[in-house]
Structure 1
């Protein structure tokens, strides 16, 4: 039935055209933004997951910064330990030289004092961003230093941090009292009285590497004991450097892991919400064609009413 009041064909064509235009708007939005799911109304579940994972990636970015700071601090500590080992090794050589008959021990001691001053300088300067793992005082005692290693989220949505811990009592070289004077208290390797393996068991010397004075060692036995004591400290310092090197290596590995994890999360989020540009461009071409056909169909439907008027013409 043909009616001049209700043009069913035009209504159908207009409805189809309206649907095509809506699809075109969606496709054009995806092409311009690059997202298939940009807001919660597009897909609430995927949008929620993507938003949470993006937030976690921001937290991991902060973890990267913390790891970088930790790596720098441990690098400085390792450099200080390595340089101090070389200096203590030189002190060991001076003790050997002082053991030779006829050597002026006072002159050897002056050389040792310069080396001791160098050890103090190394320890005090081994600071990064206010953190020093080899030089401690009553106000900044040795203890456990924590570095943020990772950000975690479990299956129930609970979040936590992974911490990388290092006990700086293992790397402490020098301890000073409240007045800044070198103190034998604490576990500092260079300022504490040295315990070494003697003939009848462990012996604790009445001096440290920093207080050693070969000019007062008037017998070969005392010089031999000093040599053993300093060699023991060298071994302990080597162990300390190995400990710092181990935490440094773990920081490097964790840094690489966090970077790879961030890339994986970003890729996963992309698979959830990114638009396939090849697919969207193809869909846009098809919708443009459909739109043109819809306009033509609507035009044809509208002309049908005018055709009725011709029936009334004379």
Structure 2
């Protein structure tokens, strides 16, 4: 190839190639600064983008897990509140039954105590039937057992069993028609109510344990989600301090490239001096 040619300017070609390469690098750095990501799309790094997208999916799915756990917590909270009311009512009923077991009471006083007892008994039924949250009631007869989501693919669940506190059930053994109208029924009712108080306490303890398990897992899920998000950031986020320094270097390199191309383009015009 001729060393001095106006048809082929090798120096200009090399300078242009270098300038184009610098401009491409500069576009990449500017894109990272604009998006804050070194891997913003699959074309930047397909393997890393796919891994990051998978982890984003897991992290987003954990939002549904947190919602499920919080619904379960709310349902249990309502059940526990109603259960505590039931326990308080049973304590009052025991007092009435004990008072009515006194054989020296006149009929008027016994009847008044019996009416109070029945009112308390009926209030238990109302408390149990109204302990609903989002259509779920854990303390009615055949109540709703909680199955809260525990992981992102739904393969694991946290179970909190229903605890029936309905009248005449396995825990509250006081019958829906139970009374203390006589000394005999009042005396028998003392033992029945005492047993019911113990059973309700045990049922509430089970609900409380279930609530604590949900609370603990909710905390874990929150930490897991944070760890996943941090992991995705490690994969795709750009180091803006580094990119800023690189931007400065590339801008300087771009200016030098433009000057180099200008010098190379001037080389052919210098050949005109040979013909003067």
Q: TM-score, normalised by structure 2?
A: 0.94
Q: 1:67, 1:218 → 2: CA distance?
A: 49
Q: 1:34, 1:113 → 2: CA distance?
A: 69
- Superposition deviation, residue 160 in structure 1: 4.4
Q: How many residues are treated as equivalent by the alignment?
A: 271
- Superposition deviation, residue 112 in structure 1: 0.8
Question: Residue 258 of structure 1 aligns with which residue?
Answer: 221
Q: 1:243, 1:13 → 2: CA distance?
A: 78
- Superposition deviation, residue 116 in structure 1: 1.4
- Superposition deviation, residue 290 in structure 1: 0.1
Question: Residue 254 of structure 2 aligns with which residue?
Answer: 291
Unpaired segments ≥5 residues, structure 1: 152-158, 176-183, 195-207
- Superposition deviation, residue 236 in structure 1: 0.4
Equivalence map 1:93-132=2 (5 Å): 93-103=95-105, 104-132=109-137
Match among 227, 239, 249 for residue 190 of structure 2: 227
Q: 1:36, 1:235 → 2: CA distance?
A: 63
Q: Any idea what the Cα deviations from partners look like across 1:110-147, whole Å, max 9, x if unmatched?
A: 001111121112111110000001123xxxx3364311
Q: 2:122, 2:189 → 1: CA distance?
A: 19
User: Which secondary structure state, in structure 2, belongs to the residue aligned with residue 120 of structure 1?
Assistant: helix
Match among 23, 26, 35 for residue 24 of structure 1: 26
- Superposition deviation, residue 59 in structure 1: 0.6
Q: Which aligned runs of 4 or more in structure 1 are off by greater than 6 angstroms?
A: none
Question: Residue 173 of structure 1 aligns with which residue?
Answer: 165
Question: Residue 212 of structure 1 aligns with which residue?
Answer: 178
- Superposition deviation, residue 311 in structure 1: 1.7
- Superposition deviation, residue 229 in structure 1: 1.5
Q: 1:144, 1:112 → 2: CA distance?
A: 31
- Superposition deviation, residue 231 in structure 1: 0.4
2:49 is the counterpart of 1:83: no
- Superposition deviation, residue 312 in structure 1: 1.3
Q: 1:44, 1:35 → 2: CA distance?
A: 14
Question: Residue 13 of structure 2 aligns with which residue?
Answer: 11
Unpaired segments ≥5 residues, structure 2: none
Contact 2:37 2:238 in 1 (8 A): yes
User: Which secondary structure state, in structure 1, belongs to the residue aligned with residue 157 of structure 2?
Assistant: strand
Contact 2:171 2:200 in 1 (8 A): yes
Q: Any idea what the Cα deviations from partners look like across 1:157-190, whole Å, max 9, x if unmatched?
A: xx4432011221xx11127xxxxxxxx5xx4533
Q: 1:7, 1:30 → 2: CA distance?
A: 35
Contact 2:89 2:120 in 1 (8 A): yes
